[in-house]
Structure 1
Amino acid sequence: MRQHVRRSTRSGALRHVIAALAALPLSAGMAAAQTLNMGIGSPVSSIDPHYHLLRSNSEVSQMLFDTLLTTDAQAQLRPGLAESWRAMGEEGWEFRLRENIRFHDGTPFTADDVAFTLERIPTITGPGASFTTHIRPVSRVEVVDARTVRLYTRAPSPLLPVYLSQVPMLGRRLHADATTADFNSGRVAIGTGPFRFSSYTPGDRLEVTRNEAYWGEKPEWASVNYRMISNDGARTAALLAGDVDFIDQIPTADLDRLRADNRFRVAETTSLRVMYITLDAERTPPVPQMAAADGGPLQRNPLADQRVRKALSLAIDRRLIVERVMQKAALATGQFMPPGAFSHIDNHPVPTADADTARRLLAEAGYPQGFQITLAGSNDRYMNDSRVVQAIGQMWTRIGVRTTVEAQPYATFIGRATRREFPAALLTWGNSTGDASVLLNSVLRTRNRDRGHGAANRTHYSNAEVDRLTGEAEREMDDAKRDRLLQQASLAAIDDVALVPLYLQNALWAMRRDLTYTARADERNDPTAVRRTQR
């Protein structure tokens, strides 16, 4: 009898131990399943949502802060904090806010916070493109009531709702005296968005948790670990090892491998991001990092001659870059928008590389022996960015323009490019509004800080015809007429070789097989749209 009891006790204890051991991995697995680990290629420069008009910053901002309107995967407008909006003739736009929107700390979001946000933006100075571009049309804000705000414009502004889909909203009570450092510390990183701030380590990661009181559809994930892994190989390795569940900017060398591996899923689409070369034609000698063919000083800036700029464009074999360097993960182009998009120029073929004509143009411009130039770019920001500048450097050297290539971390490169330390640079613009309007206004329009023109015009390019057509387009309420004006403005800049469009980069993502994601033309990483597959 005693023996029987002893055996029963041991048997019961064993069952408890087995149950406890079984529960441990289950609990850990459940916790892990609630966290989405993302490996992202582009670093973030600040948590301050108005610090820098940069895609990587904006996608982080939109985890924490909402916008009045939002866009879907095809860049079509959808309601956001505003449930509806309407044009007030040609005077401006009225936005009607949703009811009961609150910041993470419970503070109500009201129409006055919209007014505050527009007041704050011009006071924030970052290292590159500014959000002033998006609010430039607004001349006056009228807070009608707590849920209604009217934005009056200096002239008809058909694209204001589109611009506002990219402007994160803040609160007067919460952020009136907030500095960029306050946001980076997390002290005032308080928004109305689907996630709450947990921690931020610059250059490494941002950790957020689900906003259980979110006004919209709640994210599937209780937390998101947003890791910045700029090295292409390390990003893929992290996915293969299971350290992350989802990566963007798939290295092209790994694309076929990931497509064929049944453990993973690839999502891709042609993006709205155009990669291009800027040529600083406005500098007068001495031009930094340029010299005559023999290394001596230049008497004039070769880039000021349109024939030289055309020669440099013709020397570039865009299709070869797409085929060999980008491994077909891009679309060669000679313009700013992809086929089928608003303001795409029909019957404008991709330029064919022509080294002989390029050499002839150089000779006609007075440079039969060429000259020396430095071409700069990042080496950790965009797919194959350093390889692209290397390839172009070789193509330019073949026509007699001896090219030194400098590829460096984006954080260093972009500051130097903004200071005009390079005569030529590989840069880019993501046309996330679905047309060429913001690129024309920010990159190619004559710089005017008061009007918000040329905020990202790093070469100080100025063309009266581009300015005129762009100005008319931004006031034209008729879509068909505005489309033609944007095409004409784009063509005027392209014909003048204001910059050299190269290709439209594919937007690429890879993830565990049990996850899905709709590829976005604007390249945005949206953790709320990463979902488990239905079983």
Structure 2
Amino acid sequence: MALSFKKKLLSLAFTGLAAAAVLPLTAQSSLAAELKLGLFADVSTLDPHFNNIAPNISLSSHLFDALVNVDATGKLIPGLAVSWKAIDPTTWEFKLRRGVKFHDGSDFTAEDVVFSLDRPATLTNSPGPFTSYTKQIVGKEIVDPYTVRLKTATPYGPLALDVSTIFIVSKKAAQNATTEDFNSGKALIGTGPFKFGNFERGDSIELVRNDSYWGGKADWDKVTFRILTSDGARLAALLAGEVDAIDSVPPADVPKLKTNPKFSLVQRTSWRTIFWTLDQSRDKTPDITDKSGKPLDKNPLKDIRVRQAISKAINRQALTERTLEGLGTPASNIVAPGILGYADKLKVEKYDPEGAKKLLAEAGYPNGFALTLHGPNNRYINDERVVQTVAQFLSRVGIQTKVETFPLSVYFGKARNGDFSVALLGWGTLAGDFGLRTLVGTTDAATGWGSWNWGKYSNPQVDKLVQSSLSSVDEKQRQDFAQQAATVALNDYAVIPLHHQYATWAVRKGLKYTPRIDEFTFAHQFHPQ
């Protein structure tokens, strides 16, 4: 009987199924192992160039590599390029890694790099384009199969950071492929640490280990990502042992998990800033009326006094302590402290409801007006509650405020279409000039500027300072220009920062993970202890 049981156990281990459920992680390390992760945010597509949102980028990082990768602290490190340098003010040379194979066994070469850098511009129906990272490249030269030179129209210092967001696909597999071909797995051929297994939209993604990965084998034969957007469902799956770790731990459950010996918590201040975008381009905006419901003749948000009043009405300290339950810190910038371009001179707006009322009266709204706030209900920490809390603050200063929230899959499309007057957005970046270019730069499809500028804010002075920052090869000059641009934009209330959120993972005992500033959950960076 003992021998029969041993044979059965070994059989289960080789299949990587039941053994993962009955053995502790430490015992799994020598057997076929499966890692199961519970994710808060839904993955909308497996096409790495279609929709520039964090959940998609995080998942793509398992299947693909970029020329330049980013470590857990936000530092740039070699990826498919082993080195890069500016050989003149407008030319960057990338030396490519030799011997890298795609999942189908074909060789990775410079041809794949050029194709991948060209592809985002061909996806004209993208809801979140990657073109802001590629538009500055005006020329691509293949020197040899393992050397690529990228040319820019003007000097451009941060090109390596730009291309860290563009994943390299197989030209052979993707040349005539549609986004649906990626979602089905047909064109999903990368060089990453895992290969495609299965994709059930809104439910789960299964990956299998790439044993030929140039960066070394992952510890897991198979990885299953379960999409668990409900906080309760995600926590229940962890407690029941259905997943080995979860991201975006529900704030209310952090204290209990900290004292539970079966789990450990890992945390890091995130690069993500949560802020309000405001419609500043249209003379009439859809969600603002007088208090009887009659549309106003003009858009109050075009008046800086109204934007400042909204900011002063928000008690950010109470918001982070109570609504976020301590998992955030009040923000004055659109990038987190320590990120290039963070302006120390900008201070968190003081909570001043009386000052807000005074500003509204000066702007011609002594009795306020009616406003609907919009936000997602399944993307950021307690996002729906954040919207509701801010609505309460605004109502106290005379702005009669309603709330509408949507699932992320619906919300982003509506916001980008201009359906909202005031919309909640979270953004993370490793450089302030990048964030400013994307979020408040004057929208220009030809250059990719303002691709996430929902409020259509435009300020030539900000644009000029951001361009000066991006054109600076000298790091100190770039920092100075980026700080100046941030100061001008935020003193103009281009957007209204709320808070920087914390990233928190809960991990089963016997498993370790290094928390990332970008909040990404990478299966290949989980390891048995």
Q: Report what 1:347 is aligned to.
A: 345
User: Equivalent residues in 2 for 1:100-499 (5 A)?
Assistant: 100-285=99-284, 287-431=285-429, 434-499=430-495
Q: Report what 1:501 is aligned to.
A: 497
Gaps of 5+ in 1: 1-13
Per-residue displacement from partner, 1:296-341 (whole Å, max 9, x unpaired)? Answer: 2211111111000000000001111000011111111111223333
The CA distance in 2 between the partners of 1:462 and 1:513, in whole Å, is 50
1:140–1:152 CA contact under 8 A, matched in 2: yes
More deviation, 340-349/439-448? 340-349
SS at match of 2:470: helix
The CA distance in 1 between the partners of 2:336 and 2:46, in whole Å, is 31
How much does 1:136 deviate? 1.9
Amino acid at match of 2:172: R
Amino acid at match of 1:326: L
Q: Report what 2:25 is aligned to.
A: none
How much does 1:527 deviate? 0.7
SS at match of 1:88: strand
What's the % identity of the aligned pairs?
A: 39
The CA distance in 1 between the partners of 2:356 and 2:402, in whole Å, is 19
2:109–2:146 CA contact under 8 A, matched in 1: yes
1:280–1:424 CA contact under 8 A, matched in 2: yes
CA change 1:18–1:124 in 2 (3 A) is closer
Per-residue displacement from partner, 1:419-465 (whole Å, max 9, x unpaired)? Answer: 1111101111111xx22122111111011101111111112111111
Aligned residues: 517
The CA distance in 1 between the partners of 2:265 and 2:116, in whole Å, is 38
RMSD: 1.5
Task: Detail structure 1 runs of 4+ shifted over 2 Å in the superposition.
Answer: 14-33, 125-129, 337-341
Q: Report what 1:10 is aligned to.
A: none
Larger radius of gyration: 1
The CA distance in 2 between the partners of 1:413 and 1:82, in whole Å, is 36
2:503–2:519 CA contact under 8 A, matched in 1: yes
User: Equivalent residues in 2 for 1:501-520 (5 A)?
Assistant: 501-520=497-516
How much does 1:121 deviate? 1.2
CA change 1:369–1:187 in 2 (3 A) is same
2:272–2:336 CA contact under 8 A, matched in 1: no
The CA distance in 1 between the partners of 2:260 and 2:518, in whole Å, is 26
More deviation, 119-128/404-413? 119-128
2:306–2:360 CA contact under 8 A, matched in 1: yes
Per-residue displacement from partner, 1:453-503 (whole Å, max 9, x unpaired)? Answer: 111111211111111101111101111111011111111110111110000
Q: Report what 1:531 is aligned to.
A: 527
The CA distance in 1 between the partners of 2:315 and 2:127, in whole Å, is 29
The CA distance in 1 between the partners of 2:174 and 2:414, in whole Å, is 31
SS at match of 2:69: strand
**TM superposition score normalised by structure 1:** 0.94
Amino acid at match of 2:528: R
How much does 1:16 deviate? 4.6
1:418–1:458 CA contact under 8 A, matched in 2: yes
Q: Report what 1:52 is aligned to.
A: 51
The CA distance in 1 between the partners of 2:401 and 2:60, in whole Å, is 39
How much does 1:295 deviate? 2.1
CA change 1:292–1:224 in 2 (3 A) is same
**TM superposition score normalised by structure 2:** 0.95
The CA distance in 2 between the partners of 1:353 and 1:451, in whole Å, is 38
SS at match of 1:87: strand
How much does 1:21 deviate? 6.8
2:275–2:334 CA contact under 8 A, matched in 1: no
2:37–2:244 CA contact under 8 A, matched in 1: yes
Q: Report what 1:5 is aligned to.
A: none
SS at match of 1:516: strand
Amino acid at match of 1:357: G
Amino acid at match of 2:334: F
SS at match of 1:155: coil
The CA distance in 1 between the partners of 2:153 and 2:43, in whole Å, is 34
Amino acid at match of 1:162: L
The CA distance in 1 between the partners of 2:130 and 2:9, in whole Å, is 53
Q: Report what 1:8 is aligned to.
A: none
CA change 1:19–1:66 in 2 (3 A) is closer
CA change 1:126–1:381 in 2 (3 A) is farther
SS at match of 2:102: coil
SS at match of 1:51: coil
The CA distance in 1 between the partners of 2:97 and 2:186, in whole Å, is 26
Gaps of 5+ in 2: 22-27
Amino acid at match of 1:78: I
SS at match of 2:88: coil
Per-residue displacement from partner, 1:261-313 (whole Å, max 9, x unpaired)? Answer: 1110111110110000111121222x212101232221111111100000000
The CA distance in 2 between the partners of 1:19 and 1:275, in whole Å, is 53
CA change 1:402–1:191 in 2 (3 A) is same
